Structure 1
């Protein structure tokens, strides 16, 4: 009889014992670092699809549910993901969230003033922006979106702090430590597991960083132009030779004046490659390079094709460095 009662007691408690912390993440690079620490002990719910861009994202009811159900929300911050501000506030998740940009120990860059030129003329053709590259934007459901995300984004300009912090291995370390501390507080029974994963992540990151630096040193003098000014952390970390960008904000299509300026920059700096981005239509890049021998290749700042797992962030760094090497080498 006692054995039966014990069995029933264990059965009743098992759902609680097996419950995993639920972590909602904003974008895929955040998910990669969370996954490295969480392993199979926590559930990750990503808000922005891997094929979408946070620059023009709008929340759906299903995204709001992820926030409500999460034990912790991990996001980059307001300057990249303004669409998350009000939902976090409304769900009373602000204090329990991890805002990457606000963490102690972050090495942050400011957008350079010279990158603001061309912003006015970019507005000229903004209404004609080609959304073909936004594969994940479900326009049939667009009317049901929380448009506060888009309205807030209208004020998004590339000035102040550059929010693309996931492109810095040093900043990735900072987030990994913060995620470890939060998971330990949520799930103390697996403290050793999370701390071991952090140690493994830091060791692997040091090795990957050194490997990539050695490879990119061979092309760090080659001039190139990027689709938008969002790679400064990676470029400065590895000493690459970025000489310009097509647009300061990727949701804006450059006007005729900006196109002429870029063509002049290509000639003046002997640019070897102009990078596109898979989240946005490459049509403007093709237009820029008509009649020239300049190479082009996609540069994916979000790692949309990287397979999720504990080593995903390392694969992401490999993928990004490989994209640079393929066009600059």
Structure 2
């Protein structure tokens, strides 16, 4: 009898004993870095679907449940995903979340007023993340789009002064004190396009997982070492390949690739739109056609998250190449090698159109 009760007790407790940590992520690139560390020891639940864009997204009730049940929420930050800021606060998850933009050691870029400064991107300047960018007051990420009360995205219509402001952070803490103190206005939030920044996130995710799932800490730390070693090799491989096309002019769909471009020495000649959810007007299209001719642009990139009709209209009657450039890696299979394949896919997309 006692033996039977003991067996039943163990069986009843087993699901709890075997429960995996649940890591909720905002977008696919975040999931890729997290997956490199979790392996099969933690579950990842992503909020923004692979076919959607974080620039214009509204949470569903199921997403709110994911946040409430998460052991940790990993997101890029409020300047990209303002739709997460209030729900994290309401669920009491804000302090325990990992906000990529706010992590110690990140190298961040500001949006530029124009792209004539691309030659001067070599300097890395120190940046205090707690300081407000007083000279960027005209860039208001708090504004909602008129037709989207629940869709909070980027307003990139107003650019910023200093595109060569690479920001490096050296602080004692993993995060800066309190999310309320982070002013990321003016900062380009597409940080996942930098392998260096991916390493920073991987290190913090490893530390957090080791804290909430101590019995697998050695496993997570081994995955981090493997990820860092593999990323160093992949980075060198991609750099060698892209060096062959780093003088070829091209136009991107929107100004969201500066981390990848600067890291690998690429240089776009312009962008179709600075705010991806807004179509460019006739004047902008005319300016772009002039730029294509003037700079002898060889490729205009579209994005799978947005209609290619704009690109088709822009290139009508020309012989300029076009190809999709996916900054979110929507079709990449999510596993421990996903981030490597994501970098490969971006590199291949550039090479196919510029080579």
Check conservation: 2:154, 2:275, Cα contact below 8 A.
no
| 1:114 Cα offset (Å) | 1.8
In the alignment, which residue of structure 2 is the partner of 1:192?
218
| 1:28 Cα offset (Å) | 0.3
In the alignment, which residue of structure 2 is the partner of 1:51?
51
Residues of 2 paired with 1:156 and 1:291: CA distance? 29
In the alignment, which residue of structure 1 is the partner of 2:40?
40
| 1:154 Cα offset (Å) | 7.2
SS at match of 1:189: helix
Residues of 1 paired with 2:39 and 2:82: CA distance? 28
In the alignment, which residue of structure 1 is the partner of 2:163?
none
Structure 2: segments with no counterpart, 5+ residues: 116-144, 161-185
Check conservation: 1:84, 1:149, Cα contact below 8 A.
no
Check conservation: 2:51, 2:305, Cα contact below 8 A.
yes
Q: TM-score, normalised by structure 1?
A: 0.88
| 1:255 Cα offset (Å) | 0.5
Check conservation: 2:54, 2:153, Cα contact below 8 A.
no
Q: Would the alpha carbon gap of residues 85 and 38 (structure 1) be closer, same or farther in structure 2, given more than 3 Å must change?
A: same
Asked whether 1:7 is paired with 2:7, we answer yes
SS at match of 2:150: helix
In the alignment, which residue of structure 1 is the partner of 2:69?
69
Asked whether 1:217 is paired with 2:236, we answer no
1:1-329 matches, cutoff 5 A:
3-114=3-114, 148-150=149-151, 152-153=152-153, 159=160, 160-329=186-355
Instruction: Report which stretch shifted further, 1-10 or 300-309.
Output: 1-10
Check conservation: 2:25, 2:47, Cα contact below 8 A.
yes
Residues of 2 paired with 1:327 and 1:153: CA distance? 29
SS at match of 2:31: helix
Q: TM-score, normalised by structure 2?
A: 0.82
SS at match of 2:45: strand
Residues of 2 paired with 1:247 and 1:153: CA distance? 14
SS at match of 2:92: coil
| 1:153 Cα offset (Å) | 3.3
| 1:79 Cα offset (Å) | 0.6
Residues of 2 paired with 1:216 and 1:156: CA distance? 28
Aligned residues: 300
Check conservation: 2:156, 2:274, Cα contact below 8 A.
no
Q: Which runs of 4+ in 1 moved over 4 A?
A: 154-159
SS at match of 2:269: strand
| 1:63 Cα offset (Å) | 1.1
